[in-house]
Structure 1
Amino acid sequence: MSATVVIGAQWGDEGKGKLVDVLAAKADLVVRFQGGSNAGHTLVVNGKKTVLHLIPSGILHTDKTCVIASGVVVDIFGLTQEIRQLKESGFEIGSSQLLISDNATALLPYHKALDQAREKALSEGKIGTTGKGIGPAYEDRAARRALVMSDLFDEKTLLAKLEAVLKEKNVLLQNLYDAPEIKAKDIFDQIQTVIGELKAYRTTDVSLLVSQKIKQGKRILFEGAQGTLLDIHHGTYPFVTSSSTIAGSGSISAGIGPHHLSKIVGVFKAYCTRVGSGPFPTELHDDVGTKIQKDGHEFGSTTGRARRCGWLDLVALKYAIRLNGINSLAMMKLDVLSEHEQIGVCTGYKLDGEVITEFPTSTELVSRLEPVIEYLPGWKEDLTEVKSVKDLPRQAIGYIDFISRHVGCPIDVVSVGPDRDQTLWIKPLYKD
């Protein structure tokens, strides 16, 4: 059995968590493969909202196994809090339901301190990070000085490893950023308050586990975080996240061959949003953008920051389809576009007086783009109670069809509200 990858096809916040929760009902194993607690995946089941940052979005299905793979940077205190909150909500979260790779990078308080100090020092040139320590944690991994999860369980060597890594961190914090020193013993003691709870979820070889499940014919679902246009290599650099957000990263993080990733589902909103700094060609600075922000409740589940809103960008969406090998699209938040007389869609850009139809790889060029907008007729109807695609207003069906034809990829699922049940299937991704 091959694996399905769910990735964001825009600048993040597309609704991946909801889709993973829906698909997990028919999957066996859900693997989170990159990012960290900078993600905010919101699940709504029977009106009850659950926000996850590190735990895979299949966790509300008690008969599924959820895995945090080695490509994730794990905030051990945030993860422990998530587990506790789920338990308080009535979920057991046993060792058969959640597994954490011993080889995942441990994100510790000094990563957050450094992230926040840097962002403060940048002033007007802020990247717009969440301040969660994601970048510094990935830096440590690349520099071969990170502590991985297995290190935290070895009390004999842990303090010495913390002291070694904090020598450099404290030089930067104190001398460059005028921030307080962090003591290794304090971090060591903090780790001891949570490591006992996390011990039950240790797993040494995610690659072996996933490979065995594939051989057994199990359904594997890979969950990405952030979005394609925030990819460290292919996004609007430097206004990007610190990991590779595209589908191929699932193979790398879990340690399986890329040929196993056969179904690539690109999740996108019926419009566009972006959080933080960076170019955004279709951004709306008017009442329409404000209405979309208000109707879509476009405020970050991780930071609470307001999201910038704009019309759907089909040029950027085609770029995401190419980068990931997307062969199935999931449109989220179609309901938010109700009550617009007309709905704009970006089908090209003007750059220095010339019309182009490919997304530039230069962020400087992206910042100079002027969108070419086509307008389609809107609809007045409330879509949140619609139970079938055929019952959508003809204008909404026309909008879906226009997008699918333009990008050359089928839209197989449409979301008309935040709840698990507000999901319309054009073509089911899993056959029973």
Structure 2
Amino acid sequence: MIRRLVPSAYRPVLAHRVFRRLILGFGVSGLGDGMSFVAVAWLAIELAPRTTQGLWVGAAVAAYTLPGVVGALAFGRRLRRVPARRLLMVDSVVRGVFIGAVPLAWLAGLLTPPLYVVLLAVSSLLHAWGSAGKYTLLAELLPEEQRLAANTFVSSLNFAATIAGPAVAGVLVTYASSALVLGLDALTFVFLAVLVARTRLPEPGHVSPAEPAEPAEPAEAADPVDPVDPVDPQDQAAARGGLALLRSRPELLGLLTLTWFFNFLYGPVEVALPLHVTDDLRAPGTLLGLYWMLFGVGAVVGSLAIGALRRLPLWPVTVTIVIAWGLSLLPFGLGAPTAATVVCFTLGGVIYGPFVALSVTLIQAKSPPRHLAAMLAANNAVLLTASPLGTALGGPLTAALGPRATIGGSGLATVVLGTLACVLVAARRGDRRRNPSGIEKRRSASHG
């Protein structure tokens, strides 16, 4: 009976024994991340002087992810051939150790805002590689036709964890301490590392750097350059790094560009929302937990709905998500009642939820299998600069404009971004219809 309630797209994925074991670890670590949504910002508020709270909140939230860019660039040569399983384990251990140092320093009375930011920064140093390892591992385990369902299930699980995580964290930061919440977050990463270490995984095959691309990609196998040139152009790009690989795929580069600006404009929300709760509404941390909890509920619903579908037009869905997310933030700037902004933030979760899974699925489908981990790491590295830079900007913006105006301004700028992308996509599609054989080829022929 229960099996019949599960959409058909998810049944073969959930029947995979190793996948079921891995999602237990992903779910537990996602719960820790859900708690950190509240705890990272709230502990910065508790530690910092009132006059500089906005700046320290921005610095703390940025430090929780931004150094992953440095790790992706600094360790690229060493890690791009490391198995996905080991990448995931090492990242989990580093995050567990250094986030765990936060409550220890707090209990010892040594925790200051600068030390707090440093510990968060070191904990996130391998974040891009850990995420790349996770989704490369999924690509190793599952065939291409099951990856959208698997990716949406994993992202839905993460969002589901943010339902319980912020709710628990909201209570704990109000009645206990946000430092202790980060201690629980650290334990969830240790749990994931131990689970992955104790799980028997298949040997990497179709995404291994040493293996050729699977025959399932006829476009790669039928490339007329391959039989003639003993050096694969993709391997030449790989030698220059994952970013060169992304530049060789215009569709992925366009998606990366839109996603970067989308995440950048989201960044100020993470700074302004907790200050909106404390300054504008004079409310306790439980309300901040409610915002993020309901956002997670909406994200789960949106992600699972998308994952149950077989085929999706990528660009129309992507642009719609960008515009609709921006619209969901406008009521904050317009001074809408708290109940209305809670509803809008929940709808924003429904809209925002599928975005990550769709992006990852496209990269998995369009990347050469042997270079998937490098391309995912490069993609993650670029995107890791977006939201943290947005949060870093969010501190001064919130101090200058106020939390309410900052959230509303972020929404308005996002709507403009989505509208611009819509115009560009429509223009490109119009050119394709008028020149189905290829605009560039015709131009070259006319000049020849």
- Under a length normalisation based on structure 1, what TM-score does the superposition of the two structures give? 0.29
The structure where helix makes up a greater share of residues is 2
Could you tell me the TM-score, scaled by structure 2's length? Answer: 0.28
Q: Say which structure, 1 or 2, has more relative contact order (CA 8 Å, 6+ apart).
A: 2
> Between Structure 1 and Structure 2, which shows a larger proportion of strand residues?
1
